[in-house]
Structure 1
Amino acid sequence: MTFEGLQVLTIPAYEPDSPQSPPTSHHSVPVKRRRQQRSCDDCRRRKMRCEGGKGPDEPCSQCSSFGLKCTYNQPHKKRGPKLPKDMTLEQLQKENQDLKHKLASSSSTCSVCSQRLDRRDTDAPTPTRDASVGSPPVEEPSDDTGLSANELAARFSQFSLTTTKFDYLGEDSSFVLAGQASVMKEKIYGPSQTNHFRRPYFWQVLPWEKETLDARPHYVFPAPDLIDSLIHLYFTNVHPTLPLLHQPSFRRDVARGLHFRNLDFGGVLLMVLAVASRYSRDPRVFAMSGVSLSSGWNFASQVQVLNKHGEDNTIHEVQMYCLLALFKYGTSMPHSIWLYTGLGIRCLQQRGVHRRKPTTASKLEEELWKRALWSLMVIERNTCLFVGHPIGLHVEQYDFDLPLEIDDEYLDQDLEQPPGKPSQLSYYVCMLKLCEILGDVLRRLYDSKKAKIQLGWDGPEWEQRTVTELDSRMNRFLDDIPLHLRWDSQNPPKGTFFDQSATLHIVYNYILIAIHRRYIQHPSSSQSIPSLSICANAARAIVHTADIWITELQRLPLPLIYIPVFVSGVVLVLYALATRRTGIRLERNQDLARVATALKMLKFTESRMQPAGRHWELLRELWLLDGPPPLYNSPSSSTASESSALDASFINMNSSNNMPGQVFPPGPDQAVPSWNRMLSRDPTPEEALQGKSVEELLGLNGDSSSNIATIFDEQLMSLWMAPPDDPQNVARWQWEQTPEDRNQSSADVNWPHVFGA
């Protein structure tokens, strides 16, 4: 039944707080306002009620409250004709019959479903990808909460009367719940008019807090010529393997004096100068005259660590934390690296950089944010591997992209790498993929037992499968390395790619040691002998590659090089002791010669990196054993080739002028080391055993499993300097202790006279 000509009236619900009295007759009932024919684009996306603007060019109330642009650009989608009810019923019946047939046909093959489930599901192994073959993909829960995190941050930032605002709100935030309640309220009652009635006393910085927040440090910069010299050293020696900054824009900002006006950029410049000071012999970089370990301290000590002035975290502030962590590697307080990287990661999380989201920033600014977060992760994960701390950002907690493989000179121009020209950022992408594998190693193999039990990562069989899986990932990574970054000790890459390829090769083998080191720490496992052999081969590769790197470039190695050198020396000492227990005389073992090479590199590094001196002393104590071993034995064929290559590199060192960062020629103390000048001798009956692996040596004595206990004992394992799983045991590494006073001039014995600018 229809009624024509009848006007429809709407009676609103009575509200006690309404200034109007409840209607008493039909004459006071307002006529319903005609609704906008179509919703704006934003309201349609969020499925909210849209009343439209008061005028043709005015935004709707929802867009106005969020500060969004009100548009009607999306085309109107016409709905198709409705299907007849009979046709829909027939389709449902047909689908029902099809599903019944599929279930009946697959019931005989689904044997897994008929098995009895274990009551303790925490010990169940993690399902692999193969187990899900043939199953429909599981849909992940949607992140759509009706109001995006950016919109919620903008909404609650309107409540603040200061410059501080919410940059990112996660789904688990309490403000999300309040935001959903606000959206629901607006759907029912319309936009609220009470947002502007807030008590300023509870929304502004209080006077006694403002006095502290407004305190600004006064930075003192060196002379322009020293700034230019140190910037050149930084981008020559550090930037190729840790591309945190964008060189063209950084130089432009320094040239226009941004460090005098912008506090955060001034901190970045000071930290660049501090890090680069370790590559300079200019006396102005020393905080204490003539003491090389004090280089850069005058610059780093000025930097304000925490943002106390209540402003938003900027890209320059995060870059400053990253450079500060890098500088701390060479101080007496390297344990603070973990704190600074964690602080930088928290700043990035506060801005939501760790989540992929639409942004209005320029492509260059977006790349700088990605570089900052990835650089912090590289430093943090390598630090955590060394000191045994947990990582602060797991792989499931971020979904941002890798940096673009575009060199700096093209990043702010065409945003495209020229065809046929390999990018220097390809190394960085490879390094980041390695660090993602390292993150899995730290979490799945070295996390606490309680955490692994809760995640179902417990049990010897599960651990062996994990090691096998990680080995496969490492092999796939090795196959995917670009050709210009593949390492060949006989014919290494040239230029910057030499530096990058060697560093990548060292870090790769360092992570390989981390994967198999657990079996060395627990010698009762049947995997101890193969893992020891794998670790020893990786350690030899690290020492050999690092020796070529320092011989060729003659410059201070970054922590990505000298820390793996120390760990490799410990592994080789352990391998030499295991070999000694099989019957070979200690002086015949060539691995101790490689340990001597590692000691030489640490001695070279300790003049500017104080922890390297600690590593040298620890490794030297292990290397001496029962006394200095004579190193006069003739090398095996593989070692002889390495020695000849090293000799050639020492001889031709002056002619290598095409390498980046070669800032001084070799001095007298860079002569051929004594362990590379092997003397000939008559062969002995034990020569047949020289160069054999542990597996082969154990095979001479019978069953290898019965001899594991004779090779590994508590005395031997006490020499293995494994990073502590418990942070409270970090004191054993002497992080907190000041080394004994030594002759300061001795620290500079191996430092070339024309080093740096």
Structure 2
Amino acid sequence: METYERSASNHTARPSRRRASLACDTCRRQKEKCEGGPPCWRCQRLGRPCTVRGSVLSRRYYSGGVHSQDSSPRVEGLERIVRHFLGNVSLDEENVGRIVERLEGTMQGGAPNVDEPFDVQFVSKDIAHYSGEFSHWNFSQKLRRKIGQIERFREYWRPTQLQSSIHLVSQAMNHLPPRPITEFLIDMFFKYAAVNVFYMERSWVHERVERCYAASTEYTLSDIPWVCSLFAVLAVGTQVAHMEEGQEVNEDLNLCSEDSVGLSLYHIACRLVPDVLLVASHESVQAFLLLALYALPLSTGGLSYSYLGIAVKMAIQNGMHRKYVGECDPRIIETRNRVFWTACTLDKRISIFHGRPASIAKSDISTDLPSDALSFSSPNYANMMAYIKLSSWLGEVSETLTLLRNCAKSFIPEYLDRLIQLRMQIAQWWVSLPSTNECRDTTPASSLFRQNSHLKMTYLLIYVYMGRPFMFASDWTDSPVENPDSDPRALLVQGCVKSALKILDILHSLSTNTGLCRASYTEFSSCRAALLVILAERLNSRKLHRFQDELTRGMAMIRRMTGGSSSESEISYLQSLDAAIRQSSLAANEADSNRHTSQDEPSAYAQFKHWTHAMKQDTYPGGITDLELSSFSPLSFLNSEPRLGEGSEVQGLLNTWPSDGFALDPNVFSPFQSG
């Protein structure tokens, strides 16, 4: 930017003439050479307005010192915005001018007329058809509107010819448990499994149970999704039924009697899966969410991850990710919104923790967040919204870490600063949540003690995930810092370790007051993540006793949460890591000890000098003046005076004579010690 000085006569002094890198609109229209500004000198001389992309440039605005002082942080902020949206592009003057010209050409060309709205059309109360932008369906409907009135045609929404016989539902109903058992398992599901997440409304389940035990009930193919959901709820209820015991279960958790019953109920639900896919209603989404919940402790990254992916895709098929603006029952819309956010949130969390892409992009979601509707009683609304927000924060942290890993070395400090800012924003948001009864109240007396404890572990897991990549300094040796104490990575690692220790404290509180749930993914995954961080910290410090009590307590808790082959494998892996770290730490400590011993050990000559000094002091209290040279004679033992080699210091010196020095005959002092 050129600087213009105002003379005493209030005239503008013309600067050295040079062509501007970006011509103003006025000079471009007049096909004249623009000499830069802003405003440019030619426009000033001719007294005409100088505009750049439609904005009038004022000399007064640009010539003050205030702007030059404030421009630096403003420009830095704008550069960060550009890099966020365009990536790691060069922001030199030439490249910026090229980008601006390209944008200007796009603006002058005008945007094409692309009227391609998405369409959500309800086929029935529970089934909707979604047609996205630029789809075949949208184009065919556009063509239909252009033609006008055409003959009515048969609409084809679902492949009904592939559905099974209706007798499949009747056969499943024959395996329902007695009604008291069904009611008990449903209560267990809502009490211990549906924590901070919406799967379905309790009243909705009880209405379906009434139909199941009514003698005159007839079923249709559209009932298959909720029948599948009911059996999945009962199967999950068997997983958490042990929590009602009120004490730690002593029997082998892998051989619990309720496991076989739950597996049978799960298999019945699985037989209905093909027809659940064909119906493809929002109740189908609920069914797959519940199947994923049952599979979480058994196969988190496999079967459960696949179920969640199907749930999200089916929600998209029903247009649940888009805001619906038509006329529909508000309760149906709210149910759709809640079910979608549950599917999206769980899928995002599992995908991030397993290093996989999410099933739907954030930019494709326009549906409303759940509302605080009085007709919905579970889960607690504040906790549910906090859980959704925490998952959103986790997604932002994951995106930043990905950018950090793939960016050029010069941009590493910028992305580290962004992580620190995210850390501060998350902490400030967490403090703003309610601290009495809801969200942050983790006192055992709270009515939401378990829900709030799960929410806090979800919050702490973000810090664990944020700092974990920086725990091993060897991974970041290509980006050293001037002052390691002020390194953002050190701050992130400290927060990671502290959060891991807090997670173990929360789990210990749960174990003491309500017990640990072997089917809870939040409890098991939090404990596993915390233990891995502690093991990594022990490996870095090379101290065997560092966090030993916390590690022992954590391993004891995670063993009590073993609920399947997947968790068994995780525990075995943790034990192997601990054993390997112990072995490597012992070897390192032994090597350090040997190194220190060899460094601190005096030479043989120094030992000899010390021996002579000790011998004099020990045998002749008077010192060197009382010692005759003849005392070293081989015949000196005939002397009746005190003999050499009888002092305690000399004897101790003989015992500590270095074995790797010159050989020392143990009988060398025998003439002096003989009487």
TM-score by length of 2: 0.61
1:547 aligns with 2:514: no
Q: Does the Cα contact within 8 Å between 2:321 and 2:365 map onto a contact in 1?
A: yes
- Alpha-carbon distance in 2 for matches of 1:102, 1:493: 64
Counterpart position of 1:298: 264
CA-CA distance at 1:536 after TM superposition: 0.6
Counterpart position of 2:544: 586
Moved more, 371-380 or 255-264: 255-264
- Alpha-carbon distance in 2 for matches of 1:212, 1:373: 25
C-alpha distance 125-388 of structure 1, shift in aligned 2 (>3 A): farther
Aligned partner of 1:602: which letter? I
C-alpha distance 496-309 of structure 1, shift in aligned 2 (>3 A): closer
- Alpha-carbon distance in 1 for matches of 2:409, 2:302: 29
Match of 1:440 among 396, 400, 418: 396
Paired residue secondary structure (2:357): coil
1:387-439 Cα distance to aligned partner (Å, 9 max, x none): 22111123222122222235xxx316xx9x9xxxxx92211110110001112
1:335 aligns with 2:287: no
Counterpart position of 2:419: 467
Counterpart position of 1:508: 459
C-alpha distance 515-334 of structure 1, shift in aligned 2 (>3 A): closer
CA-CA distance at 1:348 after TM superposition: 0.9
- Alpha-carbon distance in 2 for matches of 1:275, 1:603: 20
Match of 2:119 among 138, 150, 157: 150
Counterpart position of 2:579: 624
Counterpart position of 1:576: 538
Aligned partner of 2:198: which letter? P
- Alpha-carbon distance in 2 for matches of 1:600, 1:288: 16
- Alpha-carbon distance in 2 for matches of 1:383, 1:204: 31
1:143-191 Cα distance to aligned partner (Å, 9 max, x none): 996574337x58xx8xxxx9999711111313333333443x34xxxx2
| Equivalent residues in 2 for 1:237-636, closer than 5 Å | 237-257=192-212, 261=219, 262-280=223-241, 293-294=259-260, 296-304=262-270, 306-308=273-275, 312-332=279-299, 334-406=301-373, 410-411=374-375, 424-446=380-402, 459-484=411-436, 485=438, 487=440, 492=443, 494-521=445-472, 522-524=475-477, 526=481, 527=487, 528-556=489-517, 558-580=520-542, 585-587=543-545, 589=546, 591-606=547-562, 608-625=563-580
1:434-472 Cα distance to aligned partner (Å, 9 max, x none): 0011122233324797xx67xx99942342133123213
TM-score by length of 1: 0.55
- Alpha-carbon distance in 2 for matches of 1:382, 1:355: 21
CA-CA distance at 1:288 after TM superposition: 11
Aligned partner of 1:574: which letter? A
C-alpha distance 271-577 of structure 1, shift in aligned 2 (>3 A): same
CA-CA distance at 1:474 after TM superposition: 1.0
Paired residue secondary structure (1:167): strand
- Alpha-carbon distance in 2 for matches of 1:166, 1:483: 40
Aligned partner of 2:354: which letter? V
Counterpart position of 2:142: 180
Aligned partner of 1:511: which letter? I
Counterpart position of 1:192: 149
Moved more, 236-245 or 257-266: 257-266
Paired residue secondary structure (1:405): coil
| Equivalent residues in 2 for 1:620-699, closer than 5 Å | 620-625=575-580
1:490-526 Cα distance to aligned partner (Å, 9 max, x none): xx16343211221111111111111122222524255
Aligned partner of 2:306: which letter? L
Structure 1 residue runs without a partner (length 5+):
1-92, 127-137, 418-422, 631-757
- Alpha-carbon distance in 1 for matches of 2:49, 2:447: 66
Q: Does the Cα contact within 8 Å between 1:313 and 1:351 map onto a contact in 2?
A: yes
CA-CA distance at 1:586 after TM superposition: 2.1
C-alpha distance 441-627 of structure 1, shift in aligned 2 (>3 A): closer
| Equivalent residues in 2 for 1:57-68, closer than 5 Å | none
C-alpha distance 107-378 of structure 1, shift in aligned 2 (>3 A): same
1:659-703 Cα distance to aligned partner (Å, 9 max, x none): xxxxxxxxxxxxxxxxxxxxxxxxxxxxxxxxxxxxxxxxxxxxx
Which structure is higher in RCO with an 8 Å CA cutoff and minimum separation 6? 1
Q: Does the Cα contact within 8 Å between 1:267 and 1:303 map onto a contact in 2?
A: yes
Paired residue secondary structure (1:353): coil
Q: Does the Cα contact within 8 Å between 2:186 and 2:233 map onto a contact in 1?
A: yes
Paired residue secondary structure (2:517): coil
- Alpha-carbon distance in 2 for matches of 1:429, 1:543: 25
CA-CA distance at 1:250 after TM superposition: 1.9
Counterpart position of 1:23: none
Structure 2 residue runs without a partner (length 5+):
1-47, 92-106, 245-251, 482-486, 586-675
* Number of residue-to-residue matches in the alignment: 479
Aligned partner of 2:577: which letter? L
- Alpha-carbon distance in 2 for matches of 1:329, 1:336: 8
C-alpha distance 146-393 of structure 1, shift in aligned 2 (>3 A): closer
Superposed CA RMSD in Å reads: 4.5
Aligned partner of 2:130: which letter? Y
Q: Does the Cα contact within 8 Å between 1:572 and 1:592 map onto a contact in 2?
A: no
Aligned partner of 1:256: which letter? R
Paired residue secondary structure (1:296): helix
C-alpha distance 360-374 of structure 1, shift in aligned 2 (>3 A): same
C-alpha distance 322-538 of structure 1, shift in aligned 2 (>3 A): same
CA-CA distance at 1:267 after TM superposition: 0.6
Paired residue secondary structure (1:263): helix
| Equivalent residues in 2 for 1:122-137, closer than 5 Å | 122-124=87-89
- Alpha-carbon distance in 2 for matches of 1:387, 1:147: 36
CA-CA distance at 1:544 after TM superposition: 0.6
Identical columns (%): 15
C-alpha distance 229-457 of structure 1, shift in aligned 2 (>3 A): farther
C-alpha distance 382-166 of structure 1, shift in aligned 2 (>3 A): closer
Paired residue secondary structure (1:168): strand
Aligned partner of 2:514: which letter? L
CA-CA distance at 1:592 after TM superposition: 2.1
Q: Does the Cα contact within 8 Å between 1:493 and 1:501 map onto a contact in 2?
A: no
- Alpha-carbon distance in 1 for matches of 2:158, 2:362: 37
C-alpha distance 251-549 of structure 1, shift in aligned 2 (>3 A): same
Paired residue secondary structure (2:287): helix
1:221 aligns with 2:173: no
